[in-house]
Structure 1
Amino acid sequence: MKLPSIQKFTLLSVFFLLSCFSAFSQIIKPPVWTSRIEPSNPVIGEEATLILEAEIPTGWYIYANDFDADLGPILATLKLDKSEAFETKGEFTAIGPKTKYEEIWEGDVKYFMGNGRFEQAFIPKAASGKVSATLEYQMCSDLTGQCVNYDEDILVEFTAQPSGSSAASPEAAEKGSSPASGEAGQQNEVNSSSETQISESEESPFDIQESQVDEPIETSGKTIEILPVQENESLWGFMVLAFLAGLAALLTPCVFPMIPMTVSFFTGRAGSRATGIRNAFIYGFSIIAIYTVAGTAVAAIQGPEFANWLATHWLPNLFFFGIFIFFALAFLGLFEITLPSGLVNKVDEKAEKGGMIGIFFMAFTLVLVSFSCTGPIVGSILISSAGGELIKPILGMFAFSLAFAIPFTLFAIFPEWMNRLPKSGGWLNSVKVVLGFLELALAFKFLSMADLVYHWGILDRDIFLIIWIVIFSGLGLYLLGKIRLPHDSPSDVIGVPRLLLALFTFMFVLYMIPGLFGAPLKYLSGYLPPMSTQQFKLTGGVNSAEAGENILGESVKYADIPLEIPHGIQGYFDYEQAMRAAKKANKPLLIDFTGHGCVNCRKMEENVWVDPQVLKRLKEDFVMVALYIDERLELPESEWYTSEYDGKVKKTLGKQNADFQITRFQNNAQPYYVILDHEENLLAQPKGYETDIQAFVEFLDGAKSEFQRREGR
């Protein structure tokens, strides 16, 4: 049900508070799977289809199976048990998945959100039989920063008709459609009684705009804590940037001189102060309405498939790159962007008629006259919001127009404030030029996206950084007066604000320079090409397996398969061996439940672990074991066992690691970090996905202090 705004605000406040802590026990429920055979009355020797459909929990998505398996995410696979009652035909197929370019994997991934469907064609060879299989897949959420691997038992019985028969018994139809069987099927009931629901934005798993609380889950007699979900911070950040863009637009030479003209328009026509205030508000609301309608039009045009095309195809990305370059050159003074004079004159004539209609057209005149300066900014906002969402372009334009309208409204109400405004002059053109430099820098983000998707290799991380360093160095020199453009007014003095802005610009340039030699530059990680495209690096690391040999004097178990711990951190891949090493080193044991296909595990490693204060602690204060829950290495039969949790035989290293996480810590999501003492007791509350570096440091320090206390040191 819908909640009043104050309740939503209260819930969000609670969620943000809860997000500072990780849930101690949390079993993430899988999707609800149903299976059936079509046609329900198959014919022997003729093709039929096994259909698997999933109802995916809100805020989560599952990966499909028709993209590059080497990227990283776990592809959905169907392992059919052998049967003489049928033979398979063709491949296990995902039906209608969505596509998204994922920077962390450097390629296109396909996924389902809300609902998913897979099909497997087969040919019945007997009058009756059953299709028995195991479905393996990965479910992730970018709201919680977690990924979970599941395997689902599938069992569907069928009764086939002889060739040439068209009759079908009710019993056959009934058997041809059944839910996934077994204990796993019973666990698939998803709680849908949450009071607050996430709006199901099917265009992308990365843009959720509402919040949800899962009800407590009962597992093995223990109540699992609720899962806090955070508001989509990117939407708020986008609105803040749009608002700041509106304020910046006020300082352009096309807009700033319009302020006194606006004041004279209202002060000359208002019969009373009350009427003047009313007119001023109508004027401000008209500005907001005009821009917001433009955002609504963009939102109406966009759709999920259009959004995916915009995000991944080379054509729109190159088009946006060209548009931003065009805007940048206009701001730098190469040419002016103007609307047809006839259109502006006609609107201006409407404004002269007076009344509410006249006020509206006065606002429209302002929008049109200022277009040469606001057009590039508005265009940039609309391009940046092009993601298939209904709300983002509308809110972006609302935030921009709000910042744009407030000063005009206030000056219309309080015309005496005009005396405090600085006079128009060359500084307005300087603002315009600064915006031109920024537009120029942002243009290369779109070129980078097309380059990454199609592997052109023309804009690697090094080249991208060099371009940005040159652009922002040029901006700094311009602010210091070392670079002059044709429209600049002569000036022998640099003001303090301009000097400070120049200093901050050069600080930013100095921050980027180490990135040329492999520094992570985590504050720019969302804008730069991935580290894997870096051609030159000075940083290196010690192989974690070699480092592990120094403690026990023996080879690291499973070091011969592709398992790793990044950044030269000492580590192991087997729990028992790691615990022995921790005891010998007299250090706490840090368990990293991770996975090859865990995108948020990689984000933690690239954005949190690389921090010097975190990395120092991980290397010096703990013995680490990385337990990969999706490793498919099949162990010797002597090491197999039947899980107490789901009654299934665990044959692979990954399934045994996942079972260990569930049975010992009542959690099945990754990343998940657990710190134990030598008696295998918790030293701190386990922590999941946590991008707050200071919070992660406190997690590590708290566990170390508790370990020392227990050891009597």
Structure 2
Amino acid sequence: MKFLVPLLGFLLIPLYIFAQTDANPAIWSHKVNKLSDTEYELVFTGKIAEGWHVYSQYTAEGGSLPSEFTFEKAGEDYELIGKTTESETLVEYSDIFEVDETFFKKEAIFTQKIKLLNPEVRQISVNLFYQICKEVCIPKDELFQISLDGNAFVDSQKEIDLKSVALGESLKLDLKNKNLLNQGGITDSEGKSNLWMIFGLGFLGGLIALLTPCVFPMIPLTVSFFTKQSQQKSKGIANAVLYGFFIVLIYFLLSLPFHLFNSVDSQILNTIATNIWLNVFFFVIFVVFAFSFFGYFELTLPSSWANKMDSASSKVGGGLGIFFMALTLAIVSFSCTGPILGGLLGSTTLAEGNVATNLTIGMTGFGLALALPFALFALFPAWLNSLPKSGGWMTTVKVVLGFLELALAFKFLSNADLVGNWGIFKREIFLGIWIVLFVLMTLYLFGIFKFPHDGPKKKLTSTRKLFGALSMAFSVYLVLGLFHVTPLKLLSGFPPPDFYSVVETESDCPLGLDCFKDFEEGVAYAKAANKPILLDFTGWACVNCRKMEENVWSHSSVYPILKDEYVLISLYVDDRKELPEAEKFDFKYDSGRIKSIETIGQKWGTFQTVNFNAASQPYYVLLSPNLEILNDAVQYVDVETYENWLKSGLETYQLSMNK
């Protein structure tokens, strides 16, 4: 389980330290030393702010990320002579990673010799990826644009890559009535509703965590400690309430590192959430979490963390001491709360909106649910007598959570399959796996088999039988959905779409509709058919896109309009299929930043951002064939709103045709 520690350790850093971070903790420069007519020495120097450090290229595997140079066109315009050398480094053992780490403080100097293969080359580009750390670690990229003859670097993008310029310009549309896109307030209410849902999921996760053996026994012990330690009852209650507040604060602080993503490319959160290998990583992590809940091993953070926090709470005392007590609870209960928090993290990547904001809202809800009992039982200590006794029922809770973790794990594997177009986890296979999991959970709840940490077989309680019956009913529901006896409305958006099936379908578009997956082709057809366009920015791994298709598009009042009145153009912004070599290019933003467009998803994601200043999915725009905006854009809305929106667009189109 050692490979989990980097991720989990990062999440559990006390993040109030963020207020102390430097705005720019490393300043980089470079120089060129000419050794001969064809050989040069490149020197890269980083001045590192006090308290920060940058890791060596050769730091031990299994620890923090090493620095890494990418020499563009190496082997084509020039070759590298030997390895990149480094200035003096420091070595220190990491308790978190359990390896010796090699790093720089104050200054880092890298030196690389090169030999020109093309004598006409006078400038090169080098990219440095590095991780700079204080109490937190921040990954960064530094681009060095180097002139070998001492002249200013000339950005020859337009001169050397006219294809990129032309393809980049072709992405920009000459939209008419673009001001209509800024009118709609429909998505704002949906966004707020979505945040409340995520808060509710986090709160539910916190309530479930309370029922686990790592947390439940702590409630009466902690409340008794506060009420008996204080001479005044009011003082004990105040301390317990403060303890609960600090629990909420800690889980809120744990979400803050994810807001670092706000400063990068608008498509980065979507890219992360739909990255094939990140989804595979989530799959592996959730399988590990599940088997931990099944009792085959236990995930724990280093015991020294808990010991240090506990010691600090005793020494400091007062409000700060109570904070360290709350932090100790977060650490010692991690073996139960960690997998639930992992599920919350995974769920936020599947939800609509900003991943970092979603996670903050969810983590705050989680912390609030976890903290409430400590405050409430301190206010009403007589309630403690009504608490059920600890026992085997808590083990049952953990096992049920393990099955749910496994089910969620296969959702992430399905995402990777959809985005990568592997064609392995088709809808029927995904549902079949879920049926097996929930049948096994049913058998477990009815006592047919047990796991290693289950105690001796006892008579089943009525509560366990009830949940066994619910699990059985859900298994039957999945079977009926698998054979299309009933639509899986409860799971809308979670399994792969209907058209992603082992059975050949007439259309690879949602609901069997005719659609285009290339914008230019769709516009050409719309002109020929004299029909307006529904431009659908979607994603293979977009849950809310599937919900819209299965719950709104399929409605009897909406489906005929989509089928008969509009030309549907569906652009998948997370499609990782590579573009043909002739269609790959570098897109240059107005800010001067250059982005490589190598996949279908990168093309349509950039297309959406440039033309509509949006980066979320689903995102729907109504256009005339002449690129006139017909209505405001909408996202995740209800049937009535969507139907009226489509009809309003048709009316606007008819009026424009009659002019």
TM-score by length of 1: 0.50
Structure 1 equivalent of residue 338 of structure 2: 375
| Partner Cα distance (1:624, 1:351) in 2 | 65
| Partner Cα distance (1:694, 1:430) in 2 | 44
| Partner Cα distance (1:459, 1:470) in 2 | 15
Structure 2 equivalent of residue 336 of structure 1: 298
Q: 1:266 to 1:539 in 2, by over 3 A?
A: farther
The 3-state SS of whatever aligns with 1:391 is helix
Quick check: 491-500 or 243-252, which moved more?
A: 491-500
Residue among 236, 243, 260 paired with 1:283: 243
The 3-state SS of whatever aligns with 1:268 is helix
| Partner Cα distance (1:342, 1:188) in 2 | 58
Q: 1:503 to 1:695 in 2, by over 3 A?
A: farther
Structure 1 position 93, deviation (Å) = 4.8
Structure 1 equivalent of residue 312 of structure 2: 350
Give the aligned length.
414
Structure 1 equivalent of residue 163 of structure 2: 90
Question: Given the alignment of the two structures, is residue 498 of structure 1 paired with residue 464 of structure 2, yes or no?
Answer: yes
Structure 1 position 322, deviation (Å) = 0.8
Question: Given the alignment of the two structures, is residue 231 of structure 1 paired with residue 193 of structure 2, yes or no?
Answer: no
Amino acid of the structure 1 residue aligned with 2:297: F
Q: 1:693 to 1:434 in 2, by over 3 A?
A: farther
Structure 1 position 237, deviation (Å) = 1.5
Residue among 312, 317, 331 paired with 2:274: 312
Question: Given the alignment of the two structures, is residue 119 of structure 1 paired with residue 169 of structure 2, yes or no?
Answer: yes
Residue among 494, 498, 504 paired with 1:531: 498
Amino acid of the structure 2 residue aligned with 1:236: W
Larger-Rg structure: 1
8 A Cα contact 1:690 1:696, kept in partner: no
Structure 1 position 516, deviation (Å) = 2.6
The 3-state SS of whatever aligns with 1:119 is helix
Amino acid of the structure 2 residue aligned with 1:437: F
**Cα deviations across residues 92-140 of structure 1 (Å, max 9, x unaligned)?**
656xxxxxxxxxxxxxxxxxxxxxxx537xxxxxxxxxxxxxx984xxx
Structure 1 equivalent of residue 53 of structure 2: none
Amino acid of the structure 2 residue aligned with 1:230: S
| Partner Cα distance (1:271, 1:667) in 2 | 70
**Cα deviations across residues 446-494 of structure 1 (Å, max 9, x unaligned)?**
1111111212222111111111111111111111222211222334432
| Partner Cα distance (1:91, 1:251) in 2 | 58
Amino acid of the structure 2 residue aligned with 1:339: L
Residue among 231, 251, 257 paired with 1:271: 231
Q: 1:670 to 1:392 in 2, by over 3 A?
A: closer
Q: Which has the higher helix share?
A: 2
Structure 1 position 530, deviation (Å) = 2.0
Structure 1 position 213, deviation (Å) = 5.5
Structure 2 equivalent of residue 555 of structure 1: none
Q: 1:601 to 1:417 in 2, by over 3 A?
A: closer
Structure 2 equivalent of residue 487 of structure 1: 453
8 A Cα contact 2:552 2:638, kept in partner: yes
| Partner Cα distance (1:488, 1:375) in 2 | 21
8 A Cα contact 1:318 1:450, kept in partner: yes
8 A Cα contact 2:515 2:569, kept in partner: no
Structure 1 position 689, deviation (Å) = 8.5
Structure 1 position 385, deviation (Å) = 3.1
**Cα deviations across residues 624-671 of structure 1 (Å, max 9, x unaligned)?**
84343879xxxxxxxxxxxxxxxxxxxxxxxx9948999xxx955799
Amino acid of the structure 2 residue aligned with 1:255: V
Structure 2 equivalent of residue 521 of structure 1: 488
Amino acid of the structure 2 residue aligned with 1:362: M
Structure 2 equivalent of residue 209 of structure 1: none
| Partner Cα distance (1:287, 1:623) in 2 | 49
**Cα deviations across residues 326-383 of structure 1 (Å, max 9, x unaligned)?**
1111001110112222322222222334322222222122112211111111233234
The 3-state SS of whatever aligns with 2:215 is coil
8 A Cα contact 1:213 1:228, kept in partner: no
The 3-state SS of whatever aligns with 2:339 is helix
Q: 1:592 to 1:230 in 2, by over 3 A?
A: farther
**Cα deviations across residues 12-51 of structure 1 (Å, max 9, x unaligned)?**
xxxxxxxxxxxxxxxxxxxxxxxxxxxxxxxxxxxxxxxx
Structure 1 position 395, deviation (Å) = 1.6
Q: 1:93 to 1:489 in 2, by over 3 A?
A: farther
Segments of structure 2 that go 5 or more residues without pairing to the other structure are 1-160, 517-524, 539-543, 571-621, 648-659
Structure 1 position 234, deviation (Å) = 2.8
Listed as ranges, the matches of 1:254-269 within 5 Å are 254-269=214-229
Structure 2 equivalent of residue 253 of structure 1: 213
Quick check: 380-389 or 461-470, which moved more?
A: 380-389
| Partner Cα distance (2:623, 2:641) in 1 | 29
Question: Given the alignment of the two structures, is residue 607 of structure 1 paired with residue 542 of structure 2, yes or no?
Answer: no
Identity of aligned residues (%): 43
| Partner Cα distance (1:601, 1:291) in 2 | 30
Quick check: 520-529 or 598-607, which moved more?
A: 598-607
| Partner Cα distance (2:441, 2:474) in 1 | 11
Structure 1 position 279, deviation (Å) = 0.6
Question: Given the alignment of the two structures, is residue 364 of structure 1 paired with residue 327 of structure 2, yes or no?
Answer: yes
8 A Cα contact 2:427 2:501, kept in partner: yes
Structure 1 position 227, deviation (Å) = 6.3
8 A Cα contact 1:593 1:627, kept in partner: yes
8 A Cα contact 2:190 2:636, kept in partner: no
Q: 1:236 to 1:428 in 2, by over 3 A?
A: same
The 3-state SS of whatever aligns with 2:189 is coil
Q: 1:412 to 1:606 in 2, by over 3 A?
A: closer
8 A Cα contact 1:240 1:399, kept in partner: yes
The 3-state SS of whatever aligns with 1:385 is helix
8 A Cα contact 1:262 1:412, kept in partner: no
8 A Cα contact 1:475 1:505, kept in partner: yes
Question: Given the alignment of the two structures, is residue 448 of structure 1 paired with residue 414 of structure 2, yes or no?
Answer: yes
8 A Cα contact 2:493 2:545, kept in partner: no
Listed as ranges, the matches of 1:28-427 within 5 Å are 90=163, 93=166, 118-119=168-169, 137=173, 151-152=174-175, 187=177, 229-232=188-191, 233-300=193-260, 304-305=264-265, 306-353=268-315, 354-386=317-349, 389-427=355-393
Q: 1:189 to 1:504 in 2, by over 3 A?
A: closer
Amino acid of the structure 1 residue aligned with 2:210: L
Residue among 596, 608, 628 paired with 2:567: 628
Amino acid of the structure 2 residue aligned with 1:259: I
The 3-state SS of whatever aligns with 1:90 is helix
Listed as ranges, the matches of 1:13-28 within 5 Å are none
| Partner Cα distance (2:505, 2:625) in 1 | 40
| Partner Cα distance (1:383, 1:618) in 2 | 32
| Partner Cα distance (1:694, 1:670) in 2 | 12
The 3-state SS of whatever aligns with 2:405 is helix
**Cα deviations across residues 403-452 of structure 1 (Å, max 9, x unaligned)?**
00001121223222111100000001111111111001101111111111
Q: 1:284 to 1:92 in 2, by over 3 A?
A: same
The 3-state SS of whatever aligns with 1:532 is coil
Structure 1 equivalent of residue 18 of structure 2: none
Structure 1 position 402, deviation (Å) = 0.3
Q: 1:413 to 1:512 in 2, by over 3 A?
A: same
8 A Cα contact 2:286 2:405, kept in partner: yes
Quick check: 492-501 or 470-479, which moved more?
A: 492-501
8 A Cα contact 2:445 2:465, kept in partner: yes
